[in-house]
Amino acid sequence: MKLGFFTQRYCTVEVSHRCLRTQEWRTSRGRCSRPPFLIPSLPPGTLSLTTRAMASSSDRNPPPFSVSEQSEPGLSDMADGDSDDGEDIFVSNSFQNHPASVSRGVSQPEVAADLFSEEATAAKPNGVHSDDDDDDLFAEAQADLSSDTSGSSARKDLSTSSGLLSARSPADLLPTSLEQLEEEEAKDSFDVDVAVTNPEKVGDGMNAYVAYKVSTRTSLPVFKSKVFTARRRFSDFLGLYEKLSAKQSLHGCIIPPPPEKSLVGMTKVKVSMDDPSSVEFVEKRRAALERYLQRIVSHPLLLQDPDVREFLEREDLPRAVNTQAFSGAGFLKMINRASDAVSKMTIKMNESDSWFEDKFQEVDMEEQQLRKLQAVVDSLVNHRKELCVNTAVFAKSIAMLGNSEDNTALSRALSQLAEVEDKMEQLHQEQAGSDFFIFAELLADYIRLLGAVRGCFDQRVRAWQRWQEAQSTLQKKREAEAKLLWANKPDKLQQAKEEITEWETKVTQYERDFDRIGMTVRKEVLRFE
Amino acid sequence: MMQEEVNEATSVLSIYGHTIKVTEVLQDGDTLTFIIVSQKLSGTGEYHVDRTYEDFEWLQQHLYAQEDVPGLQGVIFPPLPVRPQVNASAKVMKQLGFLGLGEWQPYCKALETFLRQVAAHSILRKNKAVEVFLTSTDPPGRQKLRRNIFNRLSQAVEGLRKEGHKDVDEFFHTERDHNLVLTGHTRTAAEKFLDVVLTEQKIAVACGHFAAALHICVENGEDPEKKAFSRVCVKLSQVFDSIKKNMTSIAVNDMNTLGLALDLGSRYLEAEKEMLFRRTCKLVELENARKNAERAKPVKKNAMEEVKKAAEGEFEQICKVAKQEIVQLNQERVEMLQKNLIQWCEQQLQTAKEGADAYNQHLQAFIAMA
C-alpha cells in the first residue's frame, strides 16, 4: 500500500560536526529524505503500525547496534584503550560511511509495517503479521552489517550514540522502491551540531555565575541562520529540561537529564576562577553540558520542540526558576520517588506486553551494575588522591632528613629524592583526575540516563492507569444510565447519556494516549540502545 | 651493617656471620617460630635451628648483661625488632611499622639483619650466648630474665632529667644533638613512607575490585552487541589486573628496600640514643663521685677516691668504645641508605619497564579492536 501524499525527494545535507579532541570541524555530505519537520503529521494509525514492525523486529533480533560509527577514522585514532572519552563518541558522530543507507534505512521499518498491517487498532502490538518478512529483512541486514562490524569498541558509551542509527540498521537493505515512502521521525540527520565553550565568570561575589557560549551550526531551514551562538548559564539548561519534561506531548520520551547542580563546586568558582579545582569543575561541567545538548539535538522529537530552538537561538532567555529540584541526588531521588509512587498506586498494571517487562528488567540490571562499578571507581579515585597526599608528605619528610644529614652526598641524594617524589605526586594527581573524568563521570552520566529511561517507563504506566480509571468511570456511568433507564427518568437519562458519550471519548483518548506513549517508549528505548 | 673484616682473635663463633638466614616463619596459633640457617666455618654444612621471639630476647639480655667487658655500655647494640603479634591491634601495628606488613617477610629480614650484626660485632660476637643461640638444637633457656642495668636504665623518670645534661666533650655534645634531630626525621620519614606503601596497596586492591566488577558485567549471549561489549569489558578488566599487579610490585619494592632501610636506620638511631644516654648517666655518676670525693670527710675519703677512680676509668672506657661505635655507625648508616636507595631505584625502574610493556600491549590490543 502506498501512501500517496509522499513523494520521492532528496536533499543534500551537509553534516558538520566537531571532533572534541582535535577541535576541528569536519563536514560530510549525505543524502537524506525530506527533513522531518516538513512532513505533515501522519494520522495516528500509521504511528502504531510503525512501531509494531519495529517492536516485532526487536523481539527477535535486537538491531545490531550500528558499528558504522566505529569505523569512522576519527575514532580510530583516538583509541587510547580505556582512556577514551565518552565525550568524543557523542560529538564525532559521523556519517561518512553510510549517509545514504542511513536515510534509506529509516524509511524501512515504517514502510514494512505499512505493507503488512491493515488498520490502526489500539491493540497491543504483536509481531505476528510482520514476522516472516521482517525475518528476511534482517537476514540481509545482518549480512551487510557484519562486514561493518569491525571488532568493537562498542563500549557502553558507544551504545548510546549508536542508538541514533539503530533504527535504521535493521532494515538497511530493503529495496529502494520503498524508499519513496516518507516517514516522519526517527531519522537523525545530524544537521545540527552544538558546542559549549568559553566558560566565563560573570558578575561578582555570591551573585556570580558562569556563562557558557553555546554555538550551533546547522543547515536545517527551520533555524533562522546557519551558525549562531548564544550565551547561557547553568540554570538556563536546567530550565530547558524542566520545560521539556512538563510537556504532555513528550510523554514517553526519554529526555536526557541535565548535569547536576553542585553547591560546593559553584561556591568555589564564585570565590575564584583561578583555583585549579574550580577550573576542573568548570571544565567538567562544560563537558557535561555539551553532552547534554548533543543528546537533545540528536533526538528528533526534541529537536522539533520550539523550546529547544528558542534555547539555541534567542539572545536572552528569561531567567529560569524552580531549578532547586535538580540537584544531582535530588534528581535521582525525584525519579525514585516517582516510581515508588507509581508502584504504590492502587491499580497495579498488568504488563501484558512482555517486551516492556524485559526491557525494564534489563534497564534495572544495568543500572545495578553501573552503580557497583561506580562505587568501585569512586574508591579507586579516592585512593589515588590519598596517594598524592601521602607522597607529598613523604617528599617533605625526606627533604628534612636530607637537610639534617652530615654526609653531603647522602644529603644531596635525599634532596633529589624529595624532588622526584614531588613530581610523582603531580603525576598521581593527574592520573586521579583522568580516572575520575573518564570513568566516574561516564558512569554517573549513564546512571542518570538510565534513571531517565525508568522515568519514561513510569510515564507509560501512569498513562495506563489513567486509562483504566477512565474506563471504570465509564463503566459506572453506564450502570447509572441503566438504572435511570429502568427508573424511567427521561431528563436525567439524557444527561446520563451525555456523560457517557463524554466519558467514552475520554476512554478512547486515554487508550490512544497510552498506546502512543507505549510506542514512543519503545522507539525511545531502541534509540537509546 | 656488615663488617666484612674477620676478627683475627679467637672467635667463639663457629659460623660465618654473613651467611645467617632466617628462612622461614611458622605460625602456630599465636606464636611465631623462625627457622635460622647458618653455614659452619668448617665448611661441613649448616646449622638449622628454630627460635621464637623469647629466644631472641634471651640472647639480647645475655648480650646486655655481659660482665668483664670494658666499656660495654658504650656499645651501640643492634636493635631487636618489637615483639611480633599475630592479629595485632592498631597500636601495635603502628609500632611494628614496616615490619608488620606482608606475611612477616620484612620481619624475618629484620631479625636476620639483627643476627648478622650481632655476629659481626667485634665485642658482641665473643659472647657465648650467640654461639649457643645459633647452633644449639635445643632452644636456649627461656627462664625468667634477670634484672640488669639496662632494664633499669630504661626507666623514663631519670631519663628525662639527665637527657639535657651538658656534656664535657665537644664531640659527644654535637653527636647528641645531631642524633636527636636525625632520629626524629628518620622516624617521620619511615612513617610517611609507610603511609605511601599502604595507600599503594589499597589502590591495588581497588583495581582488583574494579576488574572483578567488570567481569560481572560480562554477559553471555548471541547478540553481537553484547559480545562486543563483553569483549571490551574483559579487556578492560585485564588492563586493570595488570595495573593492580604493577601497583603491588611497586609496593613490595618499596617495602623491601627503602622501607626496611628507613626502619632499620631509625631503630639504630634509637639504639645510639640509648647508648649516648647511658654514657650521660655514667657522666653524671662520675661527677657525683667527684663531688663526693671532694666533699668527703677524711674517714671516707679514700673510699670515695676509689669510687671516683673506678667511675673515671669506666667512663673513659665507655667514651673510647662509644667513639668508635659512633664513627662506625655513621659510616655504615650512610652506606646502608645508599645501597638501599640504589636497590630501590633499580627495582622500581624494572617494575616500571614491565608495567610500560604490559600497558603498551593492552593499548595495541585496544587499537586493534577498534
> CB-hemisphere CA count at 13 Å for B333?
28
Nearest CA in chain A to B237: A82
What are the cell numbers at A171? 532494515
**Residue A192 confidence (pLDDT):** 66
**Residue B340 confidence (pLDDT):** 85
Contact between chains at A380 and B232 (C-beta distance less than 8 A): no
What are the cell numbers at A353? 506486553
Which residues contact residue B173 at a Cβ distance below 8 angstroms, ignoring those fewer than 6 apart? B166, B167
Contacts of B228 in chain A (CB under 8 A): 149, 151-152, 154
**Residue A515 confidence (pLDDT):** 67
Contacts of B369 in chain A (CB under 8 A): 79, 151-153
> CB-hemisphere CA count at 13 Å for B206?
22
- Tell me the mean pLDDT in the region B188-207: 84
> Using CB atoms and an 8 Å cut-off, which of residues 122-151 of chain B contact chain A?
none
Q: Does residue A132 have a pLDDT over 50? A: no
Q: Which range is least confidently modeled, A201-215, A309-323, A389-403, B349-363?
A: A309-323
pLDDT tens digit string along A455-508? 766 766 666 677 777 777 777 777 777 777 777 666 666 677 777 777 777 767
What are the cell numbers at A501? 458519550
Sign of CA dihedral A510, A516, A522, A525: negative
Burial A186-212 (b: 16+ CB within 10 A, else e): bbbbbbbbbbbeebeeeeeeeeeebbb
Residue A137 Rama label (left phi>0; alpha psi -120 to 50; beta):
alpha
Contact between chains at B239 and A153 (C-beta distance less than 8 A): no
Contact between chains at B202 and A149 (C-beta distance less than 8 A): no
pLDDT tens digit string along B106-153? 888 888 888 888 887 877 777 777 777 777 777 666 554 554 445 444
Asked if A159 reaches chain B (Cβ–Cβ under 8 Å), the answer is yes
Contact between chains at B225 and A62 (C-beta distance less than 8 A): yes
What are the cell numbers at A529? 540502545
Residue recorded with cell 572534541? A20
Select from A70, A79, A398 the Cβ nearest to the Cβ of B189: A398
Q: What is the Cα A27 distance to its own chain's centre? A: 23
Contacts of A373 in chain B (CB under 8 A): 210, 213-214, 217
What is the distance between the alpha carbons of residues B196 and A387, in angstroms, rounded to a whole number?
6
Nearest CA in chain A to B181: A404
Mean pLDDT, chain A, rounded, equals 58
Q: Which range is least confidently modeled, A193-207, A381-395, A412-426, B165-179?
A: A193-207
pLDDT tens digit string along A290-301? 777 777 776 666
B180: closest CA of chain A, how far (Å): 10
Contact between chains at B206 and A380 (C-beta distance less than 8 A): yes
Minimal CA–CA distance to A230: which of A308, A324, A285, A282? A308
Of B320 and A94, more confident: B320
- Tell me the mean pLDDT in the region B354-368: 84
pLDDT tens digit string along A343-394? 555 445 555 556 667 767 777 777 777 777 778 777 877 787 788 788 888 8
Count CB-CB contacts under 10 A for residue B180.
Answer: 15
Asked if B196 reaches chain A (Cβ–Cβ under 8 Å), the answer is yes
What would the 3-class secondary structure string for chain B be? Answer: CCCCCCCCCCCCCCECHHHCEEEEEEEECCEEEEEEEEEECCCCCEEEEEEEHHHHHHHHHHHHCCCCCCCHHHCCCCCCCCCCCCCCCHHHHHHHHHHHCCCCHHHHHHHHHHHHHHHHCCCHHHCHHHHHHHHCCCCCCCCCCCCCHHHHHCCHHHHHHHHCCCCCCHHHHHHHHHHHHHHHHHHHHHHHHHHHHHHHHHHHHHHHHHHHHHHHHCCCCCCHHHHHHHHHHHHHHHHHHHHHHHHHHHHHHHHHHHHHHHHHHHHHHHHHHHHHHHHHHHHHHHHHHHHHHHHCCHHHHHHHHHHHHHHHHHHHHHHHHHHHHHHHHHHHHHHHHHHHHHHHHHHHHHHHHHHHHHHHHHHHHHHHHC
**Residue B358 confidence (pLDDT):** 86
> Using CB atoms and an 8 Å cut-off, which of residues 216-245 of chain B contact chain A?
216-217, 223-225, 227-229, 231-232, 235-236, 239
pLDDT tens digit string along A220-274? 666 667 777 777 777 777 777 777 766 655 555 566 666 666 666 566 666 655 5
Which residues contact residue A513 at a Cβ distance below 8 angstroms, ignoring those fewer than 6 apart? A251, A463, A466, A467
Burial A302-329 (b: 16+ CB within 10 A, else e): bbbbebbbebbeeeebeebeebeebbee
Count CB-CB contacts under 10 A for residue A515.
Answer: 24
- The pLDDT confidence band at residue A122, using thresholds 50, 70 and 90, is very low
Contacts of A150 in chain B (CB under 8 A): 370
Asked if A369 reaches chain B (Cβ–Cβ under 8 Å), the answer is yes
Sign of CA dihedral A45, A48, A51, A56: negative
Minimal CA–CA distance to B95: which of B106, B109, B81? B81
Helix (H, G, I), strand (E, B) or coil at A266: helix
Contact between chains at B229 and A413 (C-beta distance less than 8 A): no
Select from A80, A151, A376 the Cβ nearest to the Cβ of B369: A151
Angle, in degrees to the nearest 10, between helices A354-404 and B170-217: 170
- Tell me the mean pLDDT in the region B142-170: 57
Distances in whole angstroms, Cα of residue A298 to Cα of each of A46, A165, A223, A274, B348: 23, 11, 15, 34, 49
Contact between chains at A407 and B334 (C-beta distance less than 8 A): yes
Q: Does residue A218 have a pLDDT over 70? A: yes
Select from A151, A383, A407 the Cβ nearest to the Cβ of B202: A383
Q: Which range is least confidently modeled, A167-176, A284-293, A483-492, B178-187?
A: A167-176
Nearest CA in chain B to A162: B225
Phi and psi (nearest 5°) for A228? -155, 160
Asked if A62 reaches chain B (Cβ–Cβ under 8 Å), the answer is yes
Minimal CA–CA distance to B208: which of A386, A80, A390, A379? A379
> Using CB atoms and an 8 Å cut-off, which of residues 13-42 of chain A contact chain B?
none
Give me the interface pTM, i.e. the ipTM.
0.77
Asked if A349 reaches chain B (Cβ–Cβ under 8 Å), the answer is no
Helix (H, G, I), strand (E, B) or coil at A53: helix
Q: Which of the residue ranges A309-313, B156-160, B170-174 has the most confident prediction, judged by mean pLDDT?
A: B170-174
Of A183 and A310, more confident: A310
**Residue A288 confidence (pLDDT):** 75
Asked if A83 reaches chain B (Cβ–Cβ under 8 Å), the answer is no
**Residue B125 confidence (pLDDT):** 76
What are the cell numbers at A174? 530493503
- The pLDDT confidence band at residue A116, using thresholds 50, 70 and 90, is very low
B85: closest CA of chain A, how far (Å): 26
The rounded percent of chain A whose pLDDT value lies above 70 is 34
pLDDT tens digit string along A42-93? 444 333 333 333 333 333 433 333 333 333 333 333 333 333 333 333 333 3
Q: Does residue A336 have a pLDDT over 70? A: no
Asked if A394 reaches chain B (Cβ–Cβ under 8 Å), the answer is yes
What is the distance between the alpha carbons of residues A13 and A529, in angstroms, rounded to a whole number?
25
Asked if A156 reaches chain B (Cβ–Cβ under 8 Å), the answer is yes
Taking the model in full, what pTM does it have?
A: 0.61
B283: closest CA of chain A, how far (Å): 26
